Amino acid sequence: MGVPLIYFLDDDENIIKLVKYGLRNEQFNMKFFSRPTALIEAIKIEYPDVVVSDVMMPDMDGIELIEKLRSLSRSMPVILVTAKAAVDTAVRAMKAGAFEYLTKPINFDELKLAIGRAVEVGRLRSEVDEIKTGFRQRYSFDSLIGESEPVNAMRELIKRLSTVSEAVILLRGESGVGKNLVARVIHYTSPISDRRYLEINCASLPSNLLEAELFGYEKGAFTDAKNSKKGLLEVASGGTVLLDEITSMDLSLQAKFLSFIENRRIRRVGGLEEIGVDLRVVSATNSDLESDVAGGKFRSDLFYRINVVSITVPPLRDRGKDVILIGRKFIEDFNTKFKKHVKGFTNAAERKLMAHNWPGNVRELRNVVERAMIFAEREYIDGDEIALTSISQAPIYEDGLHLPKGLSLDQVEGEYLKNMLEWNNFNLEQTAKELGVTRKTLWEKRKKYGLLN
């Protein structure tokens, strides 16, 4: 990891000489400055691990310096040292983001410990920043692959939202179109991209557990609540939360969630105190919400509240040659995963991909390309390596389902489950009841067969 680089700033040359002597045997690479402007110019060339600065200086004080340094690097810890142990100054320093606040005369044991802790924290912050930078690159506007008119329109709408962090957004579209990807792009191209992003699948838990996960609970709220726990809405405060399959919420929880969106305050299960929560809410559904409202399955007031900005993610069959562009991106991804060097598709393979209706949308395309890549031995994937199934397009009868010969048991179960969901208009409770399984088992089956979106 190398020897830590420490910048020390004090306008008193005697203090600088004292620190040089006091830290002479430490494993630090120390650079000393007597003016803040000189330190700032040095940082533009080389970032230190830690900055140690006096508070009172003629050009700018230590708190102003912190604010300057925060604009250059959020991960760089700053330790302030002052001759006056004023409480209000210490409070201002910590609010400005000082890592630690020490008083003169300098205790070198304290200073060494503070620098050591700051170095570790700074390196952890840098690692987190690198991860967040990676997410911003991965979920940039370029990750919305496609040149078709529906995708260009969707991309432009998201770009207009990128400067706004408060909008309530509803993502609509069929299963497998990539609503989760769109939600991540919305977050990681926004002003709050460095904040928390959480996805919550509302269909994955029974209503009482979903409420506890969303809103948290107080100790003793129910039998197993041995300690208080923050809910995911509270944990994500300041960032973005995606509520996937929001139509799976029962009506009583919908009412509580509506109250949260209206007031931006939550109350934990079993709690009395209201807690302020500020975050962007993105909801997603593959259901016909208007029909759900008309049928009394979804609250009309909640529908209007989450439908402030509506984005429809287009199905793959309406995206023309985007199928090929997305397929090529999957080849790049699987080249890395499988350590292969496939260059693309043959003309025959592209014609086959373009002719397919893609009922499973982008998820189905990804699975098709992955299978082809597993067995690929040539530079280009040919048409005979593109394994498409026609079961999704088999005729559906009112009292049954027609399936071709030669299907595996998993294929039959997956197709039957898909059609059961469609027959019940994606009413999960009714589907689970007719199949004779719990909602948890239904969720696991949907996950297995790629039917969660």
Are 273 and 195 in the same domain?
Answer: yes
Residue 281 resides in a domain: yes
How many domains are contained in the chain?
A: 4
Of 314, 331, 360, at which residue does a domain stop? Answer: 314
Could you give the count of Cα atoms lying within 13 Å of 156 in the half-sphere of its Cβ?
A: 7
Q: What is the mean pLDDT of the chain?
A: 87
Are 123 and 159 in the same domain?
Answer: no
105: cis peptide before it, omega within 30°? yes
List 381's β-bridge partners, or say none: 345
Residue 224 resides in a domain: yes
Are 399 and 369 in the same domain?
Answer: no
d(CA 210, CA 317): 34
State mean pLDDT over 319-340. Answer: 95
**Residue 371: which domain range?**
317-388
State mean pLDDT over 228-255. Answer: 92
Query: Which letter does DSSP use for residue 357 in this model?
Result: -
Are 200 and 308 in the same domain?
Answer: yes
> Does the pLDDT value for residue 95 go beyond 90?
no
> What's the pLDDT at 438?
86
The CATH number given to whatever domain includes residue 183 is 3.40.50.300
Element (H, E) at 33: strand 29-33
16-59 per-position pLDDT tens digit: 999 998 988 888 899 999 888 898 889 888 889 999 988 887 77
d(CA 80, CA 47): 18
| Range of lowest pLDDT (129-138, 297-306, 374-383) | 129-138
List 438's β-bridge partners, or say none: none
396: pLDDT confidence band, cut at 50, 70 and 90?
A: very low
Percent of the chain with pLDDT over 90: 48
Are 342 and 423 in the same domain?
Answer: no
The terminus-to-terminus CA distance of the chain in angstroms comes to 43
159-199 per-position pLDDT tens digit: 998 888 888 999 999 999 999 999 999 999 998 988 899 99
5: nearest Cα among 97, 58, 90, 73: 73
For tokens 């689970």, the residue is 432
Of 88, 112, 136, at which residue does a domain stop? Answer: 136
> Does the pLDDT value for residue 452 go beyond 80?
no
60: pLDDT confidence band, cut at 50, 70 and 90?
A: confident
Residue that wins the pLDDT comparison between 163 and 233: 233
Element (H, E) at 240: strand 240-244
66-94 per-position pLDDT tens digit: 888 877 776 789 998 887 666 666 677 77
> What's the pLDDT at 394?
43
Residues belonging to the chain:
453
